[in-house]
Amino acid sequence: MAASLISTWAPIGQWVDALFNRLFDNPDDQASATIFQKFISPNLVYRINHDRHDFLGFDTMLKEARRTTIMQTKSNNEVQSWEAPDGSGGGCVAHMSHFSLIDKAGADAIECSALTLSTVKVQDGQRTLFELAEIHQVVS
């Protein structure tokens, strides 16, 4: 999969959904890594539950998750979004997601849900994920 994403001018929710699909659900590790480098801000702030991470921390967690599990998104519903009024392509979007994490070693599946709030900014004419807050819960 090429290191491209849907247009900067697509609705913010669709853009973030496409980004997450290419990062998490994509079976190609190299393509996922390329997308990460291109569309995740080096100044990223990532919060999951009560923990705070930066770009490197998020990259490390993503690589470990991809190494040990297969993620299958069941649903990813937009809760609310805001498009920057200046028309730049920036904005914020909240999604409610349900997904399975399947252990590559034992094929056990864990069902999870996550409420995410993504902040997107445009840098050098390209959208980048600038902040991500996630309330993550194991459902079963």
Q: Are strands 69-83 and 40-48 parallel, antiparallel or unpaired?
A: unpaired
Domain containing 50 — which CATH number?
3.10.450.50
Predicted pLDDT at 21: 93
Per-range mean pLDDT, top range of 5-9, 81-85, 103-107: 81-85
Whether 6 maps to a domain, the answer reads no
Whether 30 maps to a domain, the answer reads yes
Q: Give the amino acid at 7.
A: S
User: Model confidence over 85-105: pLDDT tens digits?
Assistant: 998 999 999 999 999 999 999
Work out the percent of the chain whose per-residue pLDDT is above 70: 96
Whether 39 maps to a domain, the answer reads yes
Whether 85 maps to a domain, the answer reads yes
If one counts the domains in the chain, the total is: 1
Whether 5 maps to a domain, the answer reads no
Report angle CA 45, 60, 133 to the nearest 5 degrees: 30
Check: CB of residue 134 under 8 Å from CB of residue 20. Answer: no
pTM for the whole thing? 0.91
Token output for 103:
């252990």
DSSP character at residue 124: T
Q: Which domain holds residue 85?
A: 12-138
Check: CB of residue 38 under 8 Å from CB of residue 55. Answer: no
In 3D, which of 102, 88, 118 has the Cα closest to residue 17? 118
d(CA 138, CA 10): 31
